[in-house]
Structure 1
Amino acid sequence: MTTAVVTGLGVVAPNGVGTEDYWKATLDGRDGIAEITRFDATPYAARRAGEVLDFDSEEHISARLLPQTDISTRYALAAADWALADAAVQPSELVDYDMSVVTSNALGGFEFTHRELAKLWSKGPEHVSVYESFAWFYAVNTGQISIRHGMRGPNKALVAEQAGGLDAIGHARRAVRQGTGLVVTGGVDSALDPWGWASQLSGGRVSATSYRPFDVRADGYIPGEGGALLVMEDLAAARRRGAGQVYGAITGYAATFDPAPGSPRPPALRRAIELALRDAGLSAGEVDVVFADAAGVGELDRQEAEAICAVFGPSGVPVTAPKALTGRLYSGGGPLDVVTALLSIRDGVIPATAHVGEVPAGYRLDLVRGEPRYRPVSHALVLARGKWGFNTAIVVSALGD
């Protein structure tokens, strides 16, 4: 069977722009969460977010494209460029229909559309940008990346809140297995404008204090912006073109959906884990680390802990949530965790979970806290859950000899 491998990484995160800067920040425990600076958040109940501060759009996006794009699309275009450069890929040298783009987006182009609607209300329709017709849309990142690089293969866009980024990677693996030679995949999100911020707060899960997943004090998550894009290829094709590196393989993928509220059936995260391990041909004992969804909401954290313990046993596997340093990035969160898992495999280290003091004894988790844990990593499980019941699990593995 075709082996889908990752050969390039591109990261835009609140605690680091660029893969290696993000990785160093994560291992050092450098926090990307702070008071919002992009607008006056004083009137709001929560005022802290994972904001990307070291990204200058004009350095990465042409003057022609800037008026057409939301900040989230600018992040996506830059991350795709970096991932392709990291993979030493020149798209112009490959067959256009042998390349595709599969991304996820959960929030759309909030900042762009808010600005244009403000013009509509205050000045009239003749002042609204013609680019409003597509710049807000969930599929725009896939479209803009495919246009920029001439990628005309089976392109897709997925929407599944926090789980969507992992679903995009799972679908990209399917495309590679079905014959597409190269896929740019992952996700980014941003909604740090007044309208976008109000919409996030309306969900009722945002903390006004701190993001402390699996902590006895957990009272919600901190939102963030950014994410990651990856270059995925068929291993044989990557070797034929002389790919200089292979970070690892996507060996398992599964998605499930929770039952309706009030149903006697249990949440479906455990089943997603079991199906992903089965897809990867692994037993629970072969997994070296779990990158948790880490909702930061007491009930949701408890459910995730129960699912992990049911599969791996009490404290049966190290668990980590590096996203405590970035905030939850919605469609960007899962792909960023996949990048982190690949770097953990490369460097033999599991990053710590920040801000967590006391973990409830009933969770029975071996949560990596305080300092990174140095040990070989061959297989990592990455989990993500989206609001309204989405569950996704991906297995990332070192490439065997």
Structure 2
Amino acid sequence: MSPTATTGTMPVSATGVTAPTRAPVITGLGVLAPTGIGAEEHWRAVLAGRSAIDRITLFDPSPYPVRLAGQVPGFEAKGRVPSRLIQQTDRWTHLGLAAAEAAIADAQVTPAELPEYEMAVVTSSSSGGTEFGQHEMENLYQHAPDWVGAYQSIAWFYAATTGQVSIRHGMRGPCGVLCCEQAGGLDAIGQARRLIRTGAKLVMTGGTDASLCPYGLTAQLTTGQLSTVQDPARAYLPFDADACGYLPGEGGALLVVEDAEAAEARGAAHIYGRVLGYAAGFDPPPGSERGPVLART
């Protein structure tokens, strides 16, 4: 949390930048989810209560006890991601780049027309470039070290998506990545709010994931918390007496978050919502006598 001081009624950050008095606004949505590509398709699935759980098709899941997951339907990086980046990055980053393009188009903003150091990127990641890493490890173990490509050093890295989105759109402000598992996307929005309050005018934020490969599935199996039920209608039942674990999935969303005055000044086409605040809860260790602690920013 950035420390702040108060001068009269106008908050001033520790960096000396006057903090906005109005809450940041969300002006663009880019969704690539198992329930559909695009915010409208995803929302229709939500309203209809339509499940996207089905048999894994990205690889043969038959040797594994878990064979169901949520896959982004029909997603192909070709045509959505520059060809050179397809070879240099993981599917998780492909999804992030496509989501960023969609969010920018939805916000009707042209990054090249804005000051590059006033735009930032904050994404979340739970596993990094799992599939890319698996292929490179296969090259190592089945052949020799010189079969491992140079891009392995960056494609697996948790911050790869943040970096690629930043480079592609010239967003050179304070960028970062949060590794917070399921809470990562919300935490990223909280960080975007902090950056807006310390001088950024636009932040691309959110998160994507793509761990549907043998390596990624095996890693998750070690938790013992995945559902092994083979019926898609019964495999994932959160908040139900018959709940039997969770299922892996891929996809995510990126949002354009802007300073309210800056969005107004450029004539933003629409405002989906405002980020009024942010809070994170920290559960104590199992068996601890301590109660939950709530941290607010």
- The answer, yes or no, to whether TM exceeds 0.5 is yes
8 Å Cα contact 1:104/1:168 also seen in 2: yes
Task: Give the secondary structure class of the aligned counterpart of 2:240.
Answer: coil
The aligned residue for residue 17 of structure 1 is 37
Task: Give the secondary structure class of the aligned counterpart of 2:83.
Answer: coil
The aligned residue for residue 154 of structure 1 is 174
Separation in 2 of the partners of 1:64 and 1:225? 22
**Alignment partner of 1:59 is 2:79:** yes
Map Cα deviations across residues 52-107 of structure 1 (whole Å, 9 max, x no partner): 12111101011111111100000000000100110001101111001000111011
Instruction: Pick the aligned partner of 1:205 from 210, 215, 225.
Output: 225
8 Å Cα contact 1:120/1:127 also seen in 2: yes
**Alignment partner of 1:110 is 2:130:** yes
8 Å Cα contact 1:259/1:267 also seen in 2: yes
Q: Structure 2: which 5+ residue stretches go unaligned?
A: 1-20, 230-234
TM-score norm. by structure 1 comes to 0.66
Aligned residues, how many? 272
Separation in 2 of the partners of 1:128 and 1:60? 26
The aligned residue for residue 99 of structure 1 is 119
Superposed displacement of residue 30, structure 1? 2.2
The aligned residue for residue 176 of structure 1 is 196
Decide which structure has greater helix share.
1
The aligned residue for residue 265 of structure 1 is 290
Superposed displacement of residue 29, structure 1? 2.2
Superposed displacement of residue 8, structure 1? 0.1
Counterpart mapping for 1:105-254 below 5 A:
105-209=125-229, 210-254=235-279
Separation in 2 of the partners of 1:15 and 1:170? 25
Q: Which amino acid aligns with 2:34?
A: P
Q: Which amino acid aligns with 1:158?
A: L
Separation in 2 of the partners of 1:26 and 1:258? 29
Counterpart mapping for 1:67-106 below 5 A:
67-106=87-126
Map Cα deviations across residues 140-199 of structure 1 (whole Å, 9 max, x no partner): 010000000000001011101111111111000110111100000000011100010111
Structure ranking higher on relative contact order (CA contacts 8 Å, 6+ apart): 2
Superposed displacement of residue 266, structure 1? 2.9
Separation in 2 of the partners of 1:126 and 1:53? 35
8 Å Cα contact 2:281/2:292 also seen in 1: no
The aligned residue for residue 11 of structure 2 is none
Q: Taking every aligned residue pair, what percent have the same amino acid on both sides?
A: 54
Which consecutive aligned stretches of 4+ in structure 1 deviate over 6 angstroms post-superposition? none
Q: Which amino acid aligns with 1:221?
A: Y
Map Cα deviations across residues 220-268 of structure 1 (whole Å, 9 max, x no partner): 1111101000000011110000101000101121113222222112344
Q: Which amino acid aligns with 2:139?
A: K
8 Å Cα contact 2:33/2:250 also seen in 1: yes
